[in-house]
């Protein structure tokens, strides 16, 4: 079974309030993106990596991340689009045709454990599609446009979706082709797959798999690195 991961790192990271895009901010002397790519490059379950970056960053990423750290599984570095969905679609075009499953992962989630990569690949191979996530810890409120509480969903049925999200190659290709044809812009990859009628499994991960989005997340990220002995 051949597995490819598309790592999406084309965002600007405006919530980080930094002149540097968040994927290139350093944690303990290394770019966040380098930790993310390293995770998949080291994984024995991953055969190839497609990196999607900003158009102006392609050559820099090739030289200062891929070559610098010797990431030999990176098949290509390609520029993204104005929205995450367009970036993923650009990455899908470069996935090898003999790939069985495709994982799609945020470039600023550097702490996904290898055991979850294995679990996602096996689940997608068996069921077609799956998402890594964790149960919500807090009570969730649904509010209307005036911030009045409209309902309180049952917490036991609610999950926080993370990445990687993993799909059979033909399944995710069909989902993206349909979304582009229909002019649909989804908030994540599984939403597009759901539109095709496929049932998607949730794979339980852990709470360390954070998405580094705000300055507070940098502090948490450093603590996680220390916990991992890095």
Q: Which domain holds residue 78?
A: 3-227
Check residue 95 and give its pLDDT.
Answer: 97
The mean pLDDT values, 10 residues at a time, for the chain of 230 residues are 96 67 92 98 98 96 97 97 95 96 98 98 97 97 97 96 98 96 94 96 98 93 90
Here the CATH number for the domain that contains residue 220 is 3.90.550.10
| Domain tally, the chain | 1
> Could you read off the pLDDT of 175-209 as tens digits, one per residue?
999 999 999 999 899 999 999 999 999 999 999 99
**Using CA atoms, how far apart are residues 107 and 96, in angstroms rounded to an integer?**
20
**Using CA atoms, how far apart are residues 226 and 129, in angstroms rounded to an integer?**
33
Check residue 228 and give its pLDDT.
Answer: 84
Q: Which residues pair with 132 in a beta bridge?
A: 203
**Using CA atoms, how far apart are residues 79 and 60, in angstroms rounded to an integer?**
12
pTM for this entry? 0.95
Q: Can you read off the two tokens belonging to residue 164?
A: 């990687």
What's the DSSP call for residue 223? H
Q: What is the CA radius of gyration of the chain?
A: 17
Check residue 16 and give its pLDDT.
Answer: 64
**Using CA atoms, how far apart are residues 101 and 47, in angstroms rounded to an integer?**
10
**Using CA atoms, how far apart are residues 19 and 8, in angstroms rounded to an integer?**
19
**Using CA atoms, how far apart are residues 2 and 152, in angstroms rounded to an integer?**
42
| CA geometry: angle 161, 167, 170, nearest 5 deg | 145
């Amino acid at each position: 079974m051949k597995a490819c991961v598309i790592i999406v790192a084309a965002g600007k990271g405006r919530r980080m309030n930094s002149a540097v895009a968040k994927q290139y901010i350093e944690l303990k002397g290394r770019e966040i993106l380098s930790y993310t790519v390293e995770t998949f490059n080291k994984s024995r379950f991953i055969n190839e990596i497609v990196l999607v970056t900003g158009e102006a960053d392609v050559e820099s990423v090739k030289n200062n991340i891929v070559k610098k750290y010797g990431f030999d599984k990176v098949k290509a570095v390609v520029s993204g689009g104005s929205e995450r969905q367009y970036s993923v679609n650009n990455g899908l075009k470069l996935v090898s045709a003999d790939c069985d499953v495709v994982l799609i992962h945020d470039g600023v989630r550097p702490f996904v454990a290898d055991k979850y990569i294995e679990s996602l690949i096996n689940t997608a191979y068996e069921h077609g599609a799956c998402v890594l996530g964790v149960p919500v810890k807090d009570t969730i409120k649904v509010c209307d446009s005036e911030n009045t509480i409209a309902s309180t969903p049952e917490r036991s049925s609610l999950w926080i979706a993370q990445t990687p999200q993993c799909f059979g190659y033909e399944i995710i290709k069909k989902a993206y082709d349909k979304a582009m044809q229909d002019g649909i812009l989804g908030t994540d990859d599984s939403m597009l797959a759901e539109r095709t009628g496929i049932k998607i499994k949730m794979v339980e991960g852990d709470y360390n798999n954070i998405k580094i989005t705000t300055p507070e997340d940098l502090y948490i990220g450093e603590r996680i690195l220390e916990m991992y002995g890095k």
